[in-house]
Each structure stands twice: as structure tokens, then as C-alpha cells.
């Protein structure tokens, strides 16, 4: 129910999605409100799938907590597109990418262990679902810090239960369509070899997330990405370099190599990673559940000035009171790839 919510500030304007800080009028508590617009039925199904996945994963300590969702029909939205509102907890610590970019040196090895262990816990929860859920867009920007200093995985717009097994019977057109879908659902530098080129007939599923985890671990250790140029040939050949003479992060070298295997069937699983991280933690005396004392870009209502409050619509075009056109989002069995809409015709809200 959105009667209690007022828009305070836009956090992340994006193609057809915006994230705001929202505040409960009665308690003053702040939340994150994601606003998505669907231009067609495919986009509608994709957003409903994202909501259903958030509901299914709710309750895990390292996955952003879903609270509620509603939608406004395209005939009532004022811009000809259906509008969806997703309410989640607000992770005031901001994104882990802000932590890394604000540092002149990489994270200490013990912090790396805790960050990566908490991230793997979230991914394991996804892979343990029946059927398994593949995130497909694991990256440093999608790791948030909550009020207690814990890692929270977010952004499930690319997540799916669908897996693929190309074989010699596949036509060039089928492969091109699948590669195009991978391009729309993933971030280039985190893309696994089987997503980049389907001609090796490797399966596409949970191991693709493990490849992305390998990229994440490398970035946590060295404050740079192993495939920063997103070069297709380098990814296809797992052509990356662990800094020569590095002993500081030597415990993590086998994990990085185990994740960044070209053949997905030869990669470590998330359970393997967690077991090895637990062994590292025991040897080094690391408390994996200890809050992370990391300084990032704090996110709250002071991030930007609040818009003027009145009885009309706010400057983002949405009325701050509940609308008779707002409905609960129904569950959907459909599994479709996320949409790739054109840029919006009007400027993003501020």
C-alpha cells in the first residue's frame, strides 16, 4: 500500500527504472522504492518475474528484503506505459563499488573473505531453489551495505530459472538469438565464456554466476577487474593475470582460478567456494558474520534535497497519495528474458 509513501530523492535514474528513497509518513522510516515502466507485454512479464523472485528469496540475511509491490495500469499512468512500484529495505551503506572507488588500496584480506563469503551465501540461496535461480548480473554495483554492515545482493531484473544447452543441432539463428539475449541480461566484463560464444556448446546456468563471482573476488583483491576491456577473446580464453609476486591474497588465488575456468563444468560450485572460505577463515581466525566496517557513500533522505510537498503529483510524475489505479501484482508462471526498451521520451526524475 503506497498511501504512506512520499518521494524524497532519486537515487539511480536508469533506462526504464528509477530508485528513490521513500519515507513512511507515520514512522519516518526510510525505504527504497524502485519504479519500473513497462512498454509492452514482454516487459510486464519480466517485471512480474522479478517481483516473484524477490518474494521467493525473501528472508535471507544477504539478499535485499522485499516488502511490497503494486502497479498502475497504462491507461491511468499518464505516459502510456504500465508502472510498477517495488518496495524494499533501504541499504544506507550504499554500494560496495563506492567503497572500492574511494580507496587508494585494495581491501584487507580478512575483509575480502567476509565480503565474498556473504556474497556467496546469497548466491547459494538462489542456486538452492527448485528450480535453481541464476542471477546473471552479479557485479560489484549490485552488492549493497545495510545498516548493520552486512552485504545485501540486489537487482534481480536479469534473474531466471531458465537454463540453456546448445548442441550441434542448433542453427546459427538460434545461437545469435541466445547471444543477443545474454547481451541484454548481463554486464559485458562479467559475462562468462558460454554467454559470449555459444559455439562451444557449453551449458548456460548456475556456473555462469560462479564465473562472475570469480571476477568479483579478483576485483575485491586487486581493486580492478580481470577483464576491464570486456574483450571477447580474452574472456573466451580466460586470459587474465594474477599480479606476479602477490602473497597478500595468495589464499584466494585457487578460488579465482577455480571460478574462471573456460569450461563451466570444471568450475567450482558456490558450495565449494563457501567450504574453502570457511577453511581460510578458520586458519586466519576470521569471524565471517562480523559486520563490515566499510565506509562508502551513505544513502538516505539527505542524499538530495527533498521535493516540495503538496497535494498534487511530485516532480517525478507520481502522486504521493494512493491511487485507485494501484493494484497488487499477481504471481506469474512466465519466465522471459528482461526487456531492452528504448530510452524514455522524457527526462528522468530528479
Q: How do residues 262-271 score in pLDDT, each as one tens digit?
A: 999 999 999 9
- Please compute, for residue 344, the number of CA atoms within 13 A of its CA located in the half-sphere on the CB side: 16
Residues serving a catalytic function are 137
Average confidence (pLDDT) over 48-69? 94
Q: What percent of the chain has pLDDT over 90?
A: 57
Q: What is the pLDDT of residue 311?
A: 34
268 contacts 210 by C-beta, under 8 angstroms: yes
Name the average pLDDT for the chain: 82
- C-alpha dist (Å) from residue 57 to 24, 62, 199: 24, 10, 33
In the predicted model, what is the mean pLDDT of residues 317-328? 34
Where do the domains of the chain lie?
5-90+299-327, 96-284
pLDDT of 300 reads 61
Look at residue 156 and tell me whether its pLDDT is greater than 50: yes
**Matching residue, cell 560462479:** 210
pTM above 0.95, yes or no: no
Least confident of 4-18, 33-47, 155-169, 258-272: 4-18
Q: Which residues pair with 95 in a beta bridge?
A: 144
The listed CATH number (2.60.120.260, 1.20.210.10, 1.10.510.10, 1.10.1520.10) that belongs to domain 96-284? 1.10.510.10
Average pLDDT of 222-231? 94
Interatomic CA distance for residues 62 and 77, integer angstroms:
34
Q: Does the 5-90+299-327 domain belong in CATH 3.40.640.10?
A: no
How big is the CA angle at 129 (ends 125 and 131), to the nearest 5 degrees?
145
At 279 the pLDDT is 98
Would you call 23 exposed, middle or buried from its count of C-beta atoms within 10 A (0-12, 13-18, 19+)? buried
Confidence of residue 238 (pLDDT cuts 50, 70, 90): very high
Query: pLDDT tens for residues 284-314?
Result: 999 998 888 886 666 665 554 443 333 333 3
Q: And the C-alpha cell for 350?
A: 530528479
Amino acid at each position: 500500500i503506497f498511501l504512506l509513501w512520499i518521494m524524497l530523492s532519486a537515487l539511480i535514474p536508469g533506462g526504464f527504472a528509477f530508485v528513490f528513497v521513500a519515507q513512511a509518513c507515520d514512522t519516518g522510516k526510510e525505504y527504497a522504492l524502485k519504479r519500473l515502466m513497462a512498454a509492452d507485454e514482454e516487459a510486464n512479464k519480466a517485471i512480474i518475474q522479478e517481483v516473484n523472485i524477490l518474494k521467493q528469496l525473501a528472508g535471507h540475511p544477504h539478499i535485499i528484503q522485499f516488502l511490497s509491490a503494486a502497479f498502475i495500469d497504462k491507461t491511468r499512468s499518464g505516459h502510456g506505459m504500465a508502472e510498477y512500484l517495488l518496495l524494499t529495505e533501504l541499504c544506507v551503506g550504499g554500494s560496495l563499488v563506492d567503497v572500492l572507488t574511494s580507496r587508494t588500496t585494495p581491501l584487507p584480506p580478512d575483509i575480502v573473505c567476509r565480503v565474498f563469503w556473504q556474497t556467496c551465501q546469497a548466491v547459494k540461496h538462489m542456486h538452492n531453489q527448485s528450480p535453481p535461480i541464476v542471477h546473471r548480473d552479479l557485479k560489484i554495483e549490485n552488492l549493497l551495505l545495510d545498516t548493520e554492515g552486512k552485504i545485501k545482493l540486489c537487482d534481480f531484473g536479469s534473474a531466471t530459472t531458465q537454463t540453456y544447452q546448445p548442441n550441434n543441432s542448433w542453427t546459427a539463428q538460434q545461437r545469435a538469438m541466445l547471444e543477443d539475449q545474454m547481451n541484454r541480461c548481463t554486464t559485458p566484463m562479467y559475462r562468462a565464456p558460454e554467454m559470449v560464444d555459444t559455439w562451444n556448446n557449453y551449458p548456460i546456468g548456475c556456473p555462469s554466476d560462479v564465473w562472475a563471482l570469480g571476477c568479483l573476488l579478483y576485483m575485491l583483491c586487486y581493486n580492478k577487474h580481470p577483464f576491464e576491456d570486456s574483450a571477447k577473446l580474452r574472456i573466451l580464453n580466460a586470459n587474465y593475470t594474477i599480479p606476479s609476486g602477490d602473497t597478500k591474497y595468495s589464499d584466494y588465488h585457487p578460488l579465482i582460478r577455480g571460478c574462471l575456468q573456460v569450461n563451466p563444468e570444471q568450475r567450482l560450485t558456490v558450495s565449494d567456494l563457501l567450504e574453502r572460505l570457511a577453511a581460510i577463515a578458520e586458519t586466519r581466525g576470521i569471524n565471517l558474520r562480523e559486520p563490515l566496517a566499510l565506509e562508502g557513500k551513505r544513502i538516505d533522505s539527505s542524499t538530495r534535497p527533498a521535493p516540495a510537498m503538496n497535494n498534487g503529483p511530485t516532480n517525478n510524475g507520481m502522486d504521493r497519495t494512493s491511487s485507485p489505479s494501484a493494484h497488487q501484482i499477481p504471481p506469474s508462471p512466465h519466465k522471459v528474458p528482461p526487456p531492452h526498451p528504448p530510452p524514455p521520451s522524457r527526462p528522468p526524475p530528479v
